[in-house]
């Protein structure tokens, strides 16, 4: 893997081919994900891999919630686009924080530490998928359906994100990025 090339060429994919991913590939991606850095080695991430009928059930939940919110005149973010991408993807992985709802002394700093760790795990998952020739879409629109998804999946831990994974059916151009110079202060002694 050419790490710099994978980072440079990675794109958010919203159109996927109708092609299954071998289970061994998903397992290899998850194995690599477990090597992500983790504050205090807490490894707060938990993953639920959805395929086939279970993925379809998730999409139905999100579609129903989105339609209900639209009828009420409520914000739906980019749910419709996310649902479309998830429907086309071979796999959707739900990402949970295992500790935020259970630790008695869970505080703001632990939440920040665990959130950073989970973000690092998701990024490793994205880069690993890219190296396997797969496209991904990091999805946060699941928050609009968080309560319904957690109930359906029988999870009491905190839903943090979803990741759609599949064989890309598009080659998007790079999105505009700020220069590091515009967001960095360089201090010298």
CA distances from 97 to 123, 146, 152 (A): 15, 13, 17
Domain around 15 = 3-171
Please check whether residue 56 lies inside any domain of the structure: yes
Q: Which tens digits make up the pLDDT trace of 120-152? A: 999 999 999 999 999 999 999 999 999 999 999
Picking from 111, 96, 14, 104, the residue whose alpha carbon sits closest to that of residue 50 is: 96
Spatial separation of the C-alpha atoms in residues 115 and 108, rounded to whole Å: 10
Spatial separation of the C-alpha atoms in residues 46 and 118, rounded to whole Å: 9
Structurally, the chain folds into a number of domains equal to 1
Please check whether residue 189 lies inside any domain of the structure: no
Please check whether residue 182 lies inside any domain of the structure: no
What is the pLDDT at residue 28?
98
- Three-class secondary structure of residue 187 per DSSP: coil
Spans in the chain with pLDDT lower than 50? none
Please check whether residue 186 lies inside any domain of the structure: no
Q: Hey, what are 115's tokens?
A: 């959130």
What is the pLDDT at residue 102?
73
Please check whether residue 177 lies inside any domain of the structure: no
Please check whether residue 112 lies inside any domain of the structure: yes
What is the pLDDT at residue 143?
96
Please check whether residue 49 lies inside any domain of the structure: yes
Spatial separation of the C-alpha atoms in residues 136 and 38, rounded to whole Å: 22
Please check whether residue 134 lies inside any domain of the structure: yes
Spatial separation of the C-alpha atoms in residues 154 and 90, rounded to whole Å: 22
What is the pLDDT at residue 86?
98
What is the pLDDT at residue 187?
92
DSSP assignment, residue 27?
H
What is the pLDDT at residue 100?
85
What is the pLDDT at residue 53?
98
Spatial separation of the C-alpha atoms in residues 164 and 50, rounded to whole Å: 10
CATH number at residue 19: 3.40.109.10
């Amino acid at each position: 893997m050419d790490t710099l090339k994978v980072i440079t060429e990675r794109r958010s994919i919203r159109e996927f081919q109708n092609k299954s991913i071998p289970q061994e590939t998903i397992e290899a991606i998850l194995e690599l994900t477990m090597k992500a850095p983790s504050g205090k080695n807490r490894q707060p991430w938990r993953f639920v891999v959805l395929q086939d009928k279970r993925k379809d059930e998730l999409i139905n939940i999100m579609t129903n919630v989105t339609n209900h919110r639209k009828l009420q005149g409520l914000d739906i973010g980019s749910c419709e686009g996310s649902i479309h991408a998830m429907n086309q993807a071979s796999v959707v992985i739900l990402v949970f924080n295992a500790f935020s709802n259970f630790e008695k002394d869970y505080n703001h700093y632990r939440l920040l530490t665990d959130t950073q760790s989970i973000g690092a795990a998701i990024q490793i998952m994205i880069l690993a998928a890219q190296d396997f020739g797969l496209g991904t879409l990091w999805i946060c629109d699941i928050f609009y359906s968080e309560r319904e998804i957690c109930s359906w999946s029988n999870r009491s831990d905190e839903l943090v994100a979803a990741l759609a994974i599949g064989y890309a059916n598009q080659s998007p151009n790079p999105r505009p990025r700020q220069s590091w110079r515009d967001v960095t202060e360089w201090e010298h002694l």
